Every structure is written in C-alpha cells, then in structure tokens.
Amino acid sequence: MNKLPGNCLTTAMGILPHDNIDAALKVALSVDIPFWPQIPRYSFYEDMYVQVSENFPGIHLDEKKKKLWLDTGDFYEELIDYAVKSENEDTFILSKKYSAAFNAFLKINLDGYKLIRGQNIGPLSFGLKITDENMKPIIYNDEIRSFLFDFIARKINAQYRQLLQVHPRPFVWVDEPGLEILFGSFTGYSSGLAKKDFAAFLETIEGPRGVHLCGNPDWSFLLSGLDLDVLSVDIYGNGHIFTRYVDEIKAFLKRGAIISWGIVPTLTEELDAEGVDALTARLEEYWSYLSGKGIPMEMILDRAWLAPARCCLVNMDGAVTVERAFTVVRQVADSLKDKYGICQTHNIKYLM
C-alpha cells in the first residue's frame, strides 16, 4: 500500500447543504483534503443515489416527485443496449447534468493539496435504497445485485481516472450507510454473503480504498476483514464503541491505514453545546485510552485525519452550522498540531 499522509489532515464527507455551487466549493476547498461536493439542494440530480443511477438499465427517475426506482422488465430489456455502451468509459462518467459540482471541481487548480477526494454511494446502500416495481429492494434480486456491484465499481473507477487527470494523488471513498443494517440478518441476503460481496467489490476499486459511514456497524469487519486504506467514522457519536476495538485498530494503523476521526458535530444544537477545547479534549480522551492499551500516540497521530462527524441537511440555518463545523475542524486540527509539534498544512488561500 502506498502510505497516505496523516498527521491530522482535515477532510469531510461529500454532502453539503448548500444550494450554490461556488459556495459549496469554497467550503470543500477549505480542508486539507478537498472533495467535490454533493449538493442535493441545488438539484435532485446531485443526490448521491441519483448520481450513481445514470445509465443504470431499468432505472426510472421522477424529478418532480423526487423518486428513483427500477423496473425489472426494463432492466432486462435494456441490458442488451448496455452491453454495447459499457465498452465506452463515457457510460460511467458523471455528466454535468448529474453533477455540476463535480465538473466544476475538475476545473480548479488543485496543485496546492497533498490529496484530493471523490465519493460514491456504495452498492450495498444503493441496493437497499432502490426498490423495484413491487417495492422490493433490488439487492434481493441475485442477478441485479451482481450487476450493480460491477456497475458501481465501474462508476468509481471512472471517477478516479477523471480525478487522476487533475491531481497525482486522488482517491474515491465509498459511502455505505447501509453497512450498519446489513450486518444484521436479512431474508434472502445474509450478512455473511454481504460481507463476501463487499470485500470482492473493494478488490476491484482503483486507487486507495476508503469507506465512510456514520452508523455503528461491525467494526471488526471494517478494520480487519477488508484491505482498507481509509476508514471514516462518526467518532462524536460512536467513539465510545469504536475505540473498544483496540486490537483491530492497532493492526489497522500498524499496516499504514488511516482513520478519519469525525469529531465535530454538524447539528446546530450539538455544535452550540461544544467548543474547540472540549472537542479536542474529547478526541484526546479516545486517543489516550487507545494509547493506554498499547497503541503508541505517535502511530495514532501519524495515521489520523480529522473531519466533521457526519453530513447534515436538516439544520434550520441552512449551511451556517455546517460551515461553522468546518471551521471548528480546522481549529481542532491546529490545536493538536501545535500540541504535538506537527507541521501545519492548511491551504490558507482557501480558508473562509
């Protein structure tokens, strides 16, 4: 694995609550590892589930009702045409209609950043969310499930190659909120098969492999059951559980993988109740616990990124709280870098 830089670099999840591309890009560029923003309030096509559905056989989209579903009959009928189109990589590239923000991001000079990042909804979450004409999640259809794993991998790899054209060190992480519930027992699709399918899917991904989720899944599987380079975790909400997996975390960090510690809340009432010092101390408590269990603090810092805890579209103040959370993330990172003698790496020209 080509070791990724750590040392409290800042990044964030892809979804932002903005309805303006320039404003969203300004926020996305304010962290050390910038990303192209998904802004569903700008357009329904910017929704992460809608974005990946472009050119998926059998998919129907109702922009007015904001609905997305699959018709099984149409899926099989359109497969013949898809077989021809799939030989052209343009079939898997995000068009401007489906992500104006991504296309705007590609036009920016990103030379001043160590890394850049994209994101894509994962196959498990997409398969659970999208239903067929009988309201049954398509992940339960064996043939469609097999297809969607391959389709989404091609989407991710096409995005990675586009990012590679504008920066030498990109990666695309997979957003998988569905991982939390799929580790339970599901009729027609067991957790064991889900793990096997997801591990095989990640093997096909080009570039560094990352997974982000805000829930509380089987951390053992994510830390040691996969060959991940990055694991992004809602530490603010789940740190007390996540840090109990000491042996798995130690092995994960020891082989050079990164944990993105989502320590800053993005809900208005939660962020209002916290401060930079309190959040810094909270994160250090988790790190001290792990250090006391035999994981050197130097290793934790060397393999750490910092981020907001999760995406947030529900605040009454629109983008105000989320933008404030990004500022707090940078402040927490600066505090830790000062304390532990880590060189500052912010891209000052982009700070708000």
Q: Could you tell me the CA-to-CA distances from 281 to 259, 284, 307, 311 in Å, in that order?
A: 18, 5, 15, 22
Confidence of residue 181 (pLDDT cuts 50, 70, 90): confident
pLDDT of the residue at 352: 31
Q: How far is CA 68 from CA 152, 175, 207, 208, in A?
A: 16, 18, 30, 30
Chain center to CA of 27: 16
Structural domain containing residue 38 = 9-350
- Number of structural domains (the chain) is 1
Residue 203, domain member (yes or no): yes
Strands 230-233 and 258-264: parallel
Q: For residue 13, is it within any domain?
A: yes
218 vs 58, residue with greater confidence? 58
pLDDT value at residue 2: 65
Residue 31 lies in a domain: yes
| pLDDT at residue 303, rounded to an integer | 97
pLDDT for 348? 31
The model's pLDDT over 41-99, given as tens digits with 9 standing for 90+, comes to: 999 999 999 999 999 999 999 999 999 999 999 999 999 999 999 999 999 999 999 99
CATH number (domain holding residue 129): 3.20.20.210
Strands 59-62 and 67-70: antiparallel
On whether the pTM is more than 0.75, the answer is yes
Is residue 239 within 8 A of residue 306, CB to CB? The reply is: no
> Is 29 domain-assigned?
yes
* Residue closest to 102 by CA, chosen among 158, 175, 182, 30: 158
Q: What number is the average pLDDT over the span 248-252?
A: 97
Residue 177 lies in a domain: yes
Is 155 domain-assigned?
yes
Please indicate, yes or no, if residue 1 is contained in any of the structural domains: no
Q: How many helices, marked H, and strands, marked E, lie in the chain? A: 15, 9
Domain contains 4: no
Tell me: the pLDDT tens digits for 119-155?
999 999 999 999 999 999 999 999 999 999 999 999 9
CB atoms within 10 A of CB 95: 14
Nearest one of 256, 212, 263 to 239, comparing CA atoms: 263
Contact assessment for residue 17 and residue 315, using Cβ atoms and an 8 Å cutoff: yes
- Spatial separation of the C-alpha atoms in residues 177 and 213, rounded to whole Å: 5
The predicted pLDDT at position 184 comes to 60
Report the share of the chain in percent with pLDDT over 90: 86
